């Protein structure tokens, strides 16, 4: 097994990990439905499925575009 040649200090270890953090998710509000949703994700509004403000599926099935 590989072992470090010398001990890595807490400061050096923490400096290396400073960029590893969770970013808050970007939330978009649809101009058509005024529904908050994640970017690049489809979302439901009143039982219909929307993506980029376009209805892509109803409660019964998929709409042909």
Q: What is the pLDDT of residue 9?
A: 94
Torsion of CA 62, 35, 28, 38, to 10 degrees: -50
Question: 7 pLDDT band (50/70/90 cuts)?
Answer: very high
Predicted confidence (pLDDT) per residue in 9-62, tens digit = 999 999 998 888 888 889 999 999 999 999 999 999 988 999 988 888 887 666
- 5 has a pLDDT exceeding 70: yes
Global confidence as pTM:
0.59
Per DSSP bridges, beta strands 36-38 and 27-29 are antiparallel
Task: Please indicate whether residue 9 or residue 4 has the higher confidence score (pLDDT).
Answer: 9
């Amino acid at each position: 097994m590989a072992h470090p040649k010398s001990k890595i200090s807490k400061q050096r270890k923490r400096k290396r990990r400073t960029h590893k953090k969770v970013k808050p998710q970007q939330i978009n509000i649809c101009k058509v439905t005024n529904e908050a949703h994640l970017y690049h994700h489809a979302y439901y509004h009143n039982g219909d499925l929307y993506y980029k403000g376009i209805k892509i599926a109803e409660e019964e099935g998929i709409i042909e575009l």
